[in-house]
Amino acid sequence: MLVLSRKVCEKIKLGDSITLTIVKVSGDKVRLGIEAPADVKVLRDELERYPEEPLQHPSKLLIEADLRELPLAS
């Protein structure tokens, strides 16, 4: 693994068509800008590991959780 130090607004080139730009550094968080061709898949690691879980609207998740976990009133 190559580890580089960069400052805000500095860039890193990956090959001929991908550019990473350091947009913001705040505490332990780094905000990156990624310029890549449309045919290049750019995906956060945690989404790549769990691709089979469909994204749902938060309100639907709350309704489903209420139906499964809350006891019915008697």
Q: CB–CB of 8/22 below 8 Å?
A: yes
pLDDT confidence of residue 45: 80
**Tens place of pLDDT for every residue, the chain, 74 residues?**
889 999 999 999 999 999 999 999 999 899 999 999 999 988 888 776 665 666 655 666 555 555 555 555 55
Phi-psi map region of 9: left, alpha, beta (phi>0 left; psi -120 to 50 alpha):
left
Give the per-residue pLDDT at 18. 96
Amino acid 55: pLDDT: 60
pLDDT of 5 = 92
